[in-house]
A = this chain, B = another copy of it.
Amino acid sequence: MTKLHIVDDDEAIRDALGWLFQSRNVPVAGWPSAEAFLEAWQPDTAGCLLLDIRMEGMSGLELFDRLLSRGCRMPVIFLTGHGDVPIAVGALKKGARDFVEKPFNDNELVDRVIDALAFDAEQREREAGQAGLAARLATLTQRERQVMELVVAGRLNKVIADELGISMRTVEVHRSHVFEKMQVKTAVELTRLLTGAS
């Protein structure tokens, strides 16, 4: 389920943030440590992360690194009481969405979280489309993939036949199999699919 995941080892802060967000109708889950969240995290965990930097055990930054290396692309907002420019710069350059110092403005933080949640939702939608595409691509045979690449490159069947050293008829067969498996009717549609157009 899409929600805001608050990772902070200070229960009082988790509670306060939980109250703040729930009062704005933002669903929240609290985690008492980076380790706890990391263990529970799954590739399909959705929403966004509000991460304290300084914690007992694993720091927020380290959690961020580990999540990145596991392919997590959830938006992350860091929350810190002891600002440090190089840390903030490093986190943002690694892809963190924001870096907020305490004390923070409630409304601003809520807005940023809501933006981040919306961003994550959109991103997951895009990725779902890509996953379907990847699944269809996986059903193609080697030869079909080769033909598809040349079709998408704009080559005519006769040219493809020539380049692959096979007859035009065979190219036509592969081509139609590709169209069928990729669920398109024309080369243009196929090109749009693969180049990620609207």
Contacts and interface: CB of A to CB of B under 8 A. Distances in A.
A89 B92 contact: yes
A192 interface: yes
Given A85-B85, A88-B88, A89-B98, A191 B185 contact: no
Interface string A147-191: 000011110100000000000000000000000000011111101
A192 B189 contact: no
A80 B86 CA distance: 12
**Oligomeric state, in number of copies?**
2
Interface in A121-162: 151-154, 156
A77 to B, nearest CB: 11
Interface string A76-93: 000010011110110011
Given A191-B195, A197-B195, A186 B88 contact: no
A56 interface: no
A139 to B, nearest CB: 21
A92 B99 CA distance: 10
Contacts of A153: 188
A65 interface: no
Contacts of A11: none
A111 interface: no
A10 interface: no
A101 B83 contact: no
B85 A151 contact: no
5 pairs of A and B residues whose beta carbons are closest in the complex: A83-B85, A195-B197, A154-B188, A154-B189, A92-B92
10 contacts: A83-B84, A83-B85, A84-B85, A85-B88, A89-B98, A89-B100, A152-B188, A153-B188, A156-B186, A188-B191
Interface of A: 80, 83-86, 88-89, 92-93, 98-101, 151-154, 156, 184-189, 191-192, 194-197
